[in-house]
Structure 1
Amino acid sequence: MFEQRNTVHDGYEYVDEASIDPELICSICHQPFQDPQYTPCDDTFCRRCITQWIQTQNTSCPICRKSLSIDNLTQVNRPLRNMLNRLQVKCTTCGQSGLQRGDLDDHMNKICPKMEILCSSADIRCSWKGQREQLDEHLSTCAFNSLRYVIIPLVTENSEFKEQIIEMKDQIDKLRNDSQQLQERANRLAIQADTYQRENQRLQEQIVQLQLQPLRKLYR
């Protein structure tokens, strides 16, 4: 059975959902479109909704019943996406209202005071985790943060040394490979030289035999 979508979404809810233009509502989940897709019959659905419909229900459009497959879906035009991005939402983490849906990711990742985040020194192994509004208080006592200006240059230097070591290993491997190829070529040349030497010796012996033939006839 098709899974119905909840009114409260991931991290937000609509400010006035009843006033949203019906043209922006998916006829499957009855919610504003998420990643909307056109069908060849010019109907529009959320990507997740229509994909799940095709996979679990049948291969026809939910509205007009024309034949449909996932490969037939196409992304909607920019004006429709812009209208959806401008829908007013409320952050359910901090309660701030009047946000545009398209700006929610920036709000959650950069502004939301109640969003759980890591310490800015997590990259040097501070294990603190808490709300964004608590970060300044934590940083005032964070031992890692106070040592950051000492540790970061060392970490950077260590990273550069590691990169240099990797580069040197690559160069050594290349030189070793070149040396092996030169050795193989030298071995082939040595074999060719030995072959030429044996051939030259055979020719020399033939020349001597030819030179001796007149003398043999003379002393017969």
Structure 2
Amino acid sequence: MGFETKRFQGDVDEELICPICSGVLEDPLQAPACEHAFCRACITEWISRQPTCPVDRQAVTASQLRPVPRILRNLLSRLSTRCDNSVHGCNAILKLDSLPSHLAECEYNPKRPMPCEKGCGLVIPKDELADHNCVRELRALIATQQGKLTEYQQELAEQRLVINEHKRELALLKEFMRAMRVSNPTMRALAEQMERDEVARWAASLARARVTRWGGMISTPDDMLQVMMIKRSLSESGCPPHIIDELMENCHERRWPPGLSSLETRQNNRRLYEKYVCKRVPGKQAVLVLHCDNAHVDEHMMLEPGLVMIFAHGIE
């Protein structure tokens, strides 16, 4: 709907009047052929009922409507109008294009957001301040949030049930595959391939890591560091259960390949470290060097299913 003509100073040119609502054009659009202009809301509603121009009845669809020319927009913007809040005491006279910004700040706007000064800190419309009750509003807000929390908890419980069911089905499938591997070489190969694919998918989900100080490597981590920090983080990241214990064994230099088995060999082979594709152990100063990511690395520098290297510092 357009602006009421009586709110404008002086006469308004007929070209600036919407033929549908008889108000001054608001957010105008025009028909492509006849170029008749209308308020956006007016013409959109009209066309939804009958796809014709209201003036000359030429066929027109909503997708054919176009913005009015710049000269028409300029004429509209230069019209002088009273503020919408004149009935509430605002005496401002301003150009039409300045009206939106003025309304946002107008002190007479009854719907202007105002902070409550009684202590609750809620922002509410100005015309509701007189009847505002902090305790009532805060209770309502808490009730709403508790309702949302209950919904989230229910959704979470349902998702956990689904996840647990999937885990149970996966465990049964794995037990079946293990049983078949014992008696059927084909199934053994298939199961091994599935396990390799599972490791590859997990590896792809991990972030790349860069080691800036290889000298910070801890070659003989204690059991507490391994179990309480690294193993838990690997499990939470989705590490396939069938390799997690083996990876934890590979934290220690006693299980490292020949190229890393002693301080001397590690120093001699430091230039080869840059070949490693390292993945970050989430939240820890440690990296995974997985076999599936490092097929290009020499055999004397790699193990199946991979290495866990723990550092005192130097992981990005």
TM-score of the pair, normalised by structure 1: 0.51
Which range is displaced more, 115-124 or 89-98? 115-124
Q: Is the 8 A contact 2:16 2:25 kept in 1?
A: yes
Q: How far did residue 6 of structure 1 move?
A: 7.4
Matched residues in 1 for 2:101 and 2:172: separation?
A: 60
Q: How does 1:157-172 map to 2 (within 5 A)?
A: none
Closer/same/farther in 2, CA of residues 195 and 99 from structure 1, 3 Å limit? farther
> In the alignment, which of 108, 111, 135 is matched to residue 113 of structure 1?
108
Secondary structure, counterpart of 1:104 in structure 2: helix
Amino acid in the other structure paired with 1:15: F
Corresponding residue pairs, total: 162
Matched residues in 1 for 2:14 and 2:173: separation?
A: 77
Matched residues in 2 for 1:179 and 1:79: separation?
A: 67
Closer/same/farther in 2, CA of residues 103 and 127 from structure 1, 3 Å limit? closer
- Identify unmatched segments of 5+ residues in structure 2: 135-148, 188-316
> In the alignment, which of 58, 61, 65 is matched to residue 66 of structure 1?
58
> In the alignment, which of 181, 184, 201 is matched to residue 196 of structure 1?
184
Amino acid in the other structure paired with 1:183: A
Secondary structure, counterpart of 1:32 in structure 2: coil
The residue aligned with 1:33 is 25
Q: How far did residue 33 of structure 1 move?
A: 0.9
1:183 is aligned to 2:179? no
Q: How far did residue 181 of structure 1 move?
A: 7.2
Q: Is the 8 A contact 2:30 2:38 kept in 1?
A: yes
Q: Is the 8 A contact 1:108 1:115 kept in 2?
A: no
Matched residues in 2 for 1:33 and 1:6: separation?
A: 7
Q: How does 1:134-149 map to 2 (within 5 A)?
A: none
- Identify unmatched segments of 5+ residues in structure 1: 145-161, 200-220
Q: How far did residue 7 of structure 1 move?
A: 2.5
Matched residues in 2 for 1:81 and 1:24: separation?
A: 9
1:97 is aligned to 2:97? no
Closer/same/farther in 2, CA of residues 74 and 191 from structure 1, 3 Å limit? farther
- 1:3-59 per-residue CA deviation (whole Å, 9 max, x = no partner) reads x97727xxxx633151x2332222333322112111122221122333344455x54
Closer/same/farther in 2, CA of residues 131 and 96 from structure 1, 3 Å limit? farther
Q: Is the 8 A contact 2:2 2:21 kept in 1?
A: yes
CA RMSD of aligned residues (A): 4.6
Closer/same/farther in 2, CA of residues 6 and 80 from structure 1, 3 Å limit? closer
Secondary structure, counterpart of 1:109 in structure 2: helix
Closer/same/farther in 2, CA of residues 59 and 117 from structure 1, 3 Å limit? closer
- 1:90-129 per-residue CA deviation (whole Å, 9 max, x = no partner) reads 1123332322223323222223335344541499465975
Structure 1 vs Structure 2: percent identity of aligned residues? Answer: 23
Which range is displaced more, 116-125 or 44-53? 116-125
Matched residues in 1 for 2:110 and 2:176: separation?
A: 69
The residue aligned with 2:8 is 15
The residue aligned with 2:204 is none
